[in-house]
A and B are shown apart, each in its own frame.
Chain A
């Protein structure tokens, strides 16, 4: 079984300031990690993913995340946020099954509010 914890339900931040959205996971097996963004009344859009290789992953819209295996974390960062980044962000984890699909577990989400 696996689980994802997003410690902050809401994060307010001023425009052009940096932001970090925290995510911790637990799993008994190796995992894939994802960050998704959801705008109001829309589905989820993939920001970035960690499958293997470099632990620093760069995604769309200037976001990046770092996989830390020892701390079981996958925090999302952006050096300078824009108003358009206001949305809800979901961290997700799936186990590395061979073949077939992978069952994804989502965190409860962090609402990022960018203040002008």
Chain B
């Protein structure tokens, strides 16, 4: 089946640093990639959607200057949390979809802890 690899799986860093999370589709071309944030005991909240070679579309309330998304190829998207603060601590999950009508395939998530 379709596999999405997300790296790193866990990161702990100091407040003020920037953190980059990678999302790779290993055996399919992800026309679109999605980035979600999941708070404890809650569902996934879509942060942004990106199509290869285009600027990401951010959901209302998500700061695009804080959460930088790059979708440089059909197999790689990155999310950079700039100047991270403790309130940015969360579980971030990416997914990729191969096209219309195709389900999203999810990475295993990244647990981000900002001290």
Binding site for B on A (CB under 8 A): 32, 34, 36, 41-46, 49, 51, 90, 96-104, 106-109
Knowing A45-B106, A101-B49 touch, does A106 contact B44 (C-beta < 8 A)? yes
- The answer on a CB contact under 8 Å between A108 and B42 is yes
Give how many A-B residue pairs fall within 8 Å (CB-CB): 63
What residues on A are CB-neighbors of B101 within 8 Å?
A: 32, 51, 96, 102
Q: Which residue of B lies closest to A45 (CB)?
A: B106
Give B32 Cβ to nearest chain A Cβ, in Å: 4
6 CB-based A-B contacts, threshold 8 Å: A41-B9, A41-B111, A44-B95, A46-B104, A104-B34, A106-B44
Q: Report the interface size for chain B: residues with CB under 8 A from the other chain.
A: 27
Cα-based distance from A45 to B108 in the complex (angstroms): 9
A44 interface neighbour in B46, B49, B93, Cβ under 8 Å? B93
Q: Is B43's CB under 8 angstroms from A103's CB?
A: no
Q: In the bound complex, do residue B31 and residue A101 qualify as a contact, i.e. CB atoms below 8 Å apart? A: yes
B105: Cβ under 8 A from any A Cβ: yes
Whether the Cβ atoms of B93 and A43 lie closer than 8 Å is yes
Docked pose: A30 CA to B103 CA in angstroms:
16
Shortest A34–chain B CB gap in Å is: 6
Q: Contacting B100 at CB < 8 Å: which of A41, A98, A109?
A: A98
Q: How far is the CA of A53 from the CA of B9 in the complex (A)?
A: 38
Q: Are B44 and A100 in contact (CB under 8 A)?
A: no
Q: Which one, A34, A41, A98, contacts B103 given CB within 8 A?
A: A34
A90-B44, A100-B99, A100-B100 known, 14 other contacts, Cβ within 8 Å: A41-B108, A42-B108, A42-B109, A43-B95, A43-B106, A43-B108, A44-B93, A44-B106, A96-B101, A97-B100, A101-B49, A101-B51, A102-B97, A109-B43
Chain A residue, CB-CB nearest to B109: A43
* Min C-beta distance of B99 to chain A, whole Å: 8
Which residue of the partner chain A has the closest CB to B9? Answer: A41
Q: Are the CB atoms of B109 and A103 closer together than 8 Å?
A: no
